[in-house]
Amino acid sequence: MSKVVKFGGSSLADAKQFKKVYQIIKEDKERKFVVPSAPGKRFKEDTKVTDLLYKAYRAQNKSEFNATFEEIKERYQDIIDGLKLNISLDEDFEIMKKAFEDQIGEDYAASRGEYLNGKVLAHYLEFQFIDPKDVIFIDEHGNYDIEKTDPILSAALANVENAVIPGFYGSLNDGSGIIKAFSRGGSDVTGSIVAKNGKVDLYENWTDVSGFLIADPRIVKEPDVIETITYKELRELSYMGASVLHENSVFPVRSEGIPINIKNTNHPEDPGTLIVESTCHKPAHVITGIAGTKGFATVMIEKDMMNSEIGFGRKVLEVFEAHDLSFEHMPSGIDTMTIIVNTDEFIDKEQDVLAGLHRAVQPDSIELESDLALIAVVGRGMKASRGTAARVFNALAKENINIKMIDQGSSELNIIIGVRNCYFEPAIKAIYNEFID
Amino acid sequence: MSKVVKFGGSSLADAKQFKKVYQIIKEDKERKFVVPSAPGKRFKEDTKVTDLLYKAYRAQNKSEFNATFEEIKERYQDIIDGLKLNISLDEDFEIMKKAFEDQIGEDYAASRGEYLNGKVLAHYLEFQFIDPKDVIFIDEHGNYDIEKTDPILSAALANVENAVIPGFYGSLNDGSGIIKAFSRGGSDVTGSIVAKNGKVDLYENWTDVSGFLIADPRIVKEPDVIETITYKELRELSYMGASVLHENSVFPVRSEGIPINIKNTNHPEDPGTLIVESTCHKPAHVITGIAGTKGFATVMIEKDMMNSEIGFGRKVLEVFEAHDLSFEHMPSGIDTMTIIVNTDEFIDKEQDVLAGLHRAVQPDSIELESDLALIAVVGRGMKASRGTAARVFNALAKENINIKMIDQGSSELNIIIGVRNCYFEPAIKAIYNEFID
């Protein structure tokens, strides 16, 4: 067994956090490859090192630059001193200063937070340091170049017992050696790519939470943690607004069948959330998670005998497509068809779409409503458990919440419910309380 | 106030029934225009006169023809004798015999049932007889020619105090005078056209049932009668298999805002079902009716990130359209889209559609299931009453019925539920018992 351990910014914000990370890595020999983020916030009003780096890079004058640059140096020196390490970053800072003055690129500037943190951590752990600029290659759009990266990174990792590989960046895949950051997902993507190419058995993603929560803690007070979740469930929850790992950071490990374990650096004893391709483990609850978002609009099209018009649905969707609008759902009655779209995307094109629909399908009427919230109740356990829909709708009925839309396809992995924006939070609370106690 | 009264075949099957019809018409001066069907069955094993007419017309030899023709003559003679009427149909039968021998057309043959019944009823009521061949014009596809019919029929009806206008037929709109029947809806359509052009206030449709039932009596034992139903609700129920008035018979009166009252000739005291454009009357129950049909198939398409592909839904529907398939519903999850189609229409094209889908959208997987039944729970009362969905799904959960699909658009006039075929009857029973007691 071997593992990749990725630590988020709050897990490496200062010397105290570094000590926890050391403890975690050293107590388990399987934790071979370490992917650090840049130092995050130490307290609520603190600034992340990455943000200081951007600030320094964009500084309008010398004094602002110098003050910010000093602040960055102090952050690292505090860590080095706190850990009583025998390492100096002076040379690195000299090179950085020069590069910043030459304005060699924002990605370069931002990436130095991870780079320096990786150097310090590698020294502290006595692990080898691997600079991702030599082993991870990123295209101009910020996506990982699989063909160029995989052979080089695999070879590099095969040659070492242990290593620290900073997250968030690599170099452009054009051979120029220019530092390039990932567009989305940051250090999580690096962890995932390292896990894939290090051929490990588990990707531990260490954060400041003990896993994913069943519902948004701003809505439900102290929600339970999800023990095990499949990639599919995760995708459904994240799509509906739950803040979880970015897609890009999931694909490399998913394709290799490597599970991800979300862990809490401050509570390493907590089991966290395990993300898997599929599992025979009976889920702890019938539902795995609840997520949702406000801000959808409904376009309800009525036309007598629409069902007997072959091509009706296609023509309707063509109008939305012509205006570059994607639709979320399309529930249909007998003579009605409702298209659900994102209000922000729709609002400016509203009248054009209406005119287009009138031309395309000559409806009897079109009604618009714009305060719809969508809630997804997700769970692989729903398939085996009859009466889930009843429990969901009971819970909402008890709270007097009117349901504007219901959509359950035959995957039986989720039920999607539309309610007015004002019922969004009460609906999530009601569903949570029905299933989790 | 004035009314059109249309009587179905069982209401005019014999002299006893004719007496009831006479009573009904004579007790209300507003019942000005009468539209009769041909004599129907007098008892379960009896043959309708229309079927005897077809049999005579298609007779293979003289003796079969003569026997059948005599049977028809007897049916009418029994009515005339039973009512002690001073009328002879001999001349009509002579003309008919000649026309049958000349094979002048099946529509002509079939229409004689209504024609003769209309003559007898007009004589009995002492109402004027209007032959629809002179006032109702039908195109070659069997649809009512509005432009040609309306001015002529309106004028004819404006000139009479009372009249009997046989149902089911008219003449071809090409000026040839050839007898032509309606393709669908028969005498109900005639009643509706007469109601429209007679500018009446109510269209009474007299049958052998006291109105529409909330659910299929073969599934639910002695279901309640629907008191008031809107055209929209009616359309939703009929679409889902409830046997009610044909669309064609509803449009002429619907466009004029004339309500239809379904009444029972054998229990004229029963209020029956009133069909209206819209109503402020609070419905008797939250749900107006339940209907459904078996025999649907689901095509579940899975593809990661399908939601971010603009045009995905349109491309999927294009494949179905290219194979001349209409879809019933299209519930969608996050990475799944399910297309529900009629199994009989789909089955021969199945593999072509699958190949087409693979080419069009490169799905990760496609799953087919073919034993889906759809149930529509319809009711204008659902909009005002929260918790309807909960009650529906509770009722199903109590019976351990697994729900394969749910679709509720924002019209809030119906909830459509998909269950396996084997749960079709239990599901309808459970929903009925939940809402109607």
Percent of chain A with pLDDT over 70: 99
DSSP notation for A216-259 = -TTTSSSPPBPSEEEHHHHHHHHHTT-----HHHHHHHHHHT--
User: What pLDDT score was predicted for residue B243?
Assistant: 66
User: What pLDDT score was predicted for residue A414?
Assistant: 86
pLDDT tens-digit series, residues B76-114: 999 999 999 999 999 999 999 999 999 999 999 999 999
User: What pLDDT score was predicted for residue A27?
Assistant: 96
User: What pLDDT score was predicted for residue A248?
Assistant: 77
User: What pLDDT score was predicted for residue A344?
Assistant: 93
What count of residues does chain B have?
Answer: 437
pLDDT tens-digit series, residues B29-66: 999 999 999 999 999 999 999 999 999 999 999 999 99
* DSSP3 helix / strand / coil % (chain A, rounded to 5): 40, 20, 35
Q: What is the DSSP letter of A129?
A: E
> How far A330 CA sits from the closest chain B CA (Å)?
7
User: What pLDDT score was predicted for residue A247?
Assistant: 73
Q: Which residues in A lie closer than 8 A to residue B324 (C-beta atoms)?
A: 310
pLDDT tens-digit series, residues A45-79: 999 999 999 999 999 999 999 999 999 999 999 99
pLDDT tens-digit series, residues A369-417: 989 999 999 998 887 777 888 899 899 999 999 888 888 876 778 899 9
Binary contact (B411, A302; C-beta < 8 A): yes
Q: Which of A6-10, B276-280, B284-288 has the highest mean pLDDT?
A: A6-10
The answer on pLDDT for B188 being more than 80 is: yes
Both tokens of B335, joined, read 């990475």
User: Average pLDDT for residues A128-152, to the nearest whole number?
Assistant: 96
Mean pLDDT value across chain B: 92
CA A148 to each of CA A136, A152, A173, A189, B43: distance values in angstroms, whole numbers, following the listed order: 8, 7, 7, 16, 85
pLDDT-derived band at A301, boundaries 50, 70, 90: very high
SS3 A332: strand
Comparing C-alpha atoms, which of B208, B189, B82 is closest to residue B144?
Answer: B189
Q: What is the DSSP letter of B333?
A: -
Binding site, annotated residues of B for ATP? 6-9, 207-208, 218
Comparing C-alpha atoms, which of A130, A133, A162 is closest to residue A148?
Answer: A133
Give the span between the Cα atoms of B148 and A339, in whole angstroms: 40
The secondary structure element, H or E, covering residue B339 is: strand B336-342
Binary contact (B336, A413; C-beta < 8 A): yes
- What residues does B301 pair with on adjacent strands? B337, B366
Q: Which residues in B lie closer than 8 A to residue A409 (C-beta atoms)?
A: 300, 331-333, 336-338, 405
What values do phi and psi take at A339, rounded to 5? -110, 130
Q: How many CB pairs under 8 A join A and B?
A: 195
CA A250 to each of CA A33, A225, A434, B326: distance values in angstroms, whole numbers, following the listed order: 18, 20, 31, 38
Percent of chain B with pLDDT over 70: 99
User: What pLDDT score was predicted for residue A238?
Assistant: 78
CA A223 to each of CA A212, A265, A391, A429, A435: distance values in angstroms, whole numbers, following the listed order: 10, 19, 19, 10, 12
Lowest mean pLDDT among A38-52, A111-125, A311-325, A397-411: A397-411
Task: Give the sheet arrangement for strand A163-164, strand by strand.
Answer: A128-129, A163-164, A31-36, A3-7, A202-207, A260-264, A273-276, A228-230
Give the span between the Cα atoms of A220 and A214, in whole angstroms: 9
User: Average pLDDT for residues A237-248, to the nearest whole number?
Assistant: 72
Nearest CA in chain B to A237: B334
Q: Is A7 annotated as a binding residue?
A: yes
Nearest CA in chain B to A417: B408
Q: Which residue has the higher pLDDT, B119 or A411?
A: B119
Binary contact (B386, A369; C-beta < 8 A): no
The answer on pLDDT for A240 being more than 80 is: no
Single-letter amino acid code for the residue at A401: I
SS3 B404: coil
CA A113 to each of CA A54, A55, A60, A73, B269: distance values in angstroms, whole numbers, following the listed order: 10, 13, 21, 11, 88
pLDDT tens-digit series, residues B378-395: 998 887 777 888 899 899
Token look-up 């287009």 returns: A356
> How far B216 CA sits from the closest chain A CA (Å)?
19
> How far A149 CA sits from the closest chain B CA (Å)?
24
Query: Which among A324, A332, A389 has CB closest to B403?
Result: A389
User: Which domains does chain A show, CATH number per domain?
Assistant: 3-208 (3.40.1160.10), 289-435 (3.30.2130.10)
Token look-up 């809490």 returns: A264
Give the span between the Cα atoms of A295 and A306, in whole angstroms: 28
Comparing C-alpha atoms, which of A130, A180, A137 is closest to residue A158?
Answer: A130
Comparing C-alpha atoms, which of A46, A41, A32, A33 is closest to residue A11?
Answer: A41
Binary contact (A408, B405; C-beta < 8 A): yes
The answer on pLDDT for B4 being more than 90 is: yes
Binary contact (B333, A414; C-beta < 8 A): yes
Q: What is the largest CA-CA distance in chain A?
A: 80
Binary contact (B333, A235; C-beta < 8 A): no
pLDDT tens-digit series, residues B354-370: 999 999 999 999 999 98
Q: Which residues in B lie closer than 8 A to residue A407 (C-beta atoms)?
A: 331-333, 406-408
Enter the ipTM: 0.71
Both tokens of A266, joined, read 């401050």
pLDDT-derived band at B430, boundaries 50, 70, 90: very high
Q: Are A312 and A337 in contact (CB under 8 A)?
A: yes
Nearest CA in chain B to A400: B386
pLDDT-derived band at B244, boundaries 50, 70, 90: low
User: Average pLDDT for residues A256-265, to the nearest whole number?
Assistant: 94
CA A329 to each of CA A326, A417, B335: distance values in angstroms, whole numbers, following the listed order: 9, 11, 11
Nearest CA in chain A to B386: A402
User: What pLDDT score was predicted for residue B241?
Assistant: 67
Q: Which residues in B lie closer than 8 A to residue A380 (C-beta atoms)?
A: none
